[in-house]
Amino acid sequence: MRNFLIVVVVIGLIGYVGSRWADIYKTKTELAKVVEQQLSVVDDKSQPAVKHKLVDEASKLGIELSSADIQITFEDTDVRSVAQNLTARILTFVNKRAEIKLSYNAYLLGIIRLREEIEDFKIRQIQAQEREKPEMRQILDATPQ
């Protein structure tokens, strides 16, 4: 009878840990979706608003997250998409790399702390300009003003 109780307790503990682990994974996945959505709106001026939105969404999911746990970068990059590379002879592009990193604590059994991290980035096209053609410049220079 004693061995049976030990087996039941162990199976119950394994079930609880597995269930809690699945909840942690589900919550992390949902927060990662929010991070991905915010990459489309982040820029130099909106970083505080994006941090506030992420903190609010995390609290809705039951995650304790502060603005200090979130790092947002929005910087120039030379990375080009395939379509931009194909049109590079006639257009010039300005691209920015938006990146959001955040980390938070998840607890298993209330005592085991797991450090969870979410990191995502997106390359955004900011500007596209037509390249100036040399023959057009010669025509413009030759035209009397």
pLDDT at 134: 66
pLDDT at 22: 92
CB within 8 Å of 73: residues ≥ 6 apart: 97, 98, 99
- The residue ranges of every structural domain in the chain are 2-142
The phi and psi torsions of 90 (rounded to 5 degrees) equal -110, -15
Q: What sign has the CA pseudo-torsion 104, 106, 111, 113? A: negative
The span from the CA of 14 to the CA of 69, in Å, is 31
Lowest-confidence pick of 91-95, 118-122, 141-145: 141-145
The span from the CA of 81 to the CA of 78, in Å, is 10
Q: What is the mean pLDDT of residues 17-38?
A: 93
- Considering only residues 66 and 133, tell me which one the structure prediction assigns the higher pLDDT: 66
- pTM recorded for the entire structure: 0.77
